[in-house]
Amino acid sequence: MDAFTTLDGLVAPLDRANVDTDQIIPKQYLKSIKRTGFGDYLFDAWRFLDQGTMGMTPNERQINREFSLNLPEYQGASILVARDNFGCGSSREHAVWALKEFGFRAVLAPSFADIFFGNCFKNGVLPITLPADVIEGLFQRVAAGLTLSIDLRAQTVTDGEQVHGFDIDPALKEKMLHGMDDIDLTLAEASLIRSFESGHRQRQPWLFRD
């Protein structure tokens, strides 16, 4: 997994609450057996006016010029600012793969849905929870070409003179800072798992079919 330490980037706004993962990456683009190839279809029904299919490139499509991510001032943005409960709905990790491939490495919102939040940390995309009034302030200034500096180690988002601290689970922070592989970490405890498993088998033998 890619590590995340610091990020200086342009901010793009998505001014909607309860953005679900069906919006982030619609179902017709889930028919892939790979982890890549989703970026062109991020927020597909909002970015484009026509109905797309897997394999189409953005220059074959009818662009929705009014959608925020298509506005010239937000091109090249790597930080997305959004409203409450971002990433709700389906567990599809494809949503995070699409955001990352499109160029987003951080999402800032007052709250996130659980499964999406966890999926971000598996892919080096940092979800940052900030108070609603701070997010509101970012929305108000974003049109002027807002850039932010994110420092994961210091747990800060710096907006010019203003520095906003954020909370993060220390374990998730460590993993992101070092780009650690979750499976390797857990397999280091394999003997503990084996020993639990043999006790579990004795207590609930009906759970084992072999």
Interface residues with other proteins (CB under 8 A) are 16-18, 20, 22-23, 26-28, 30-35, 45, 51, 54, 83-85, 88-94, 96, 111, 113-115, 118-119, 122-123, 169-171, 174, 182-183, 185-187, 189-190, 192-193, 196-197, 200, 203-210
Nearer to other proteins, 59 or 202 (CB): 202
**Rounded distance between C-alpha atoms, residue 68 and residue 143, angstroms:** 10
Q: Nearest approach, Cβ of 158 to other proteins (angstroms)?
A: 26
**CB contact set of 24 (below 8 Å; sequence gap of 6+):** 42, 43, 87, 95, 98, 99
- Residue 169 is encoded by which pair of tokens? 């689970």
Shortest separation between residue 58's beta carbon and other proteins, angstroms:
17
CB of 76 to other proteins, least distance (A): 27
| 197 φ, ψ (degrees, to nearest 5) | -60, -40
For residue 153, the minimal CB distance to other proteins (Å) is 16
* CA neighbor of 80 nearest in space, from 23, 1, 36: 23
Name which of 18 and 156 has its Cβ closer to other proteins: 18
User: Please, which residues bridge with residue 112 across strands?
Assistant: 86
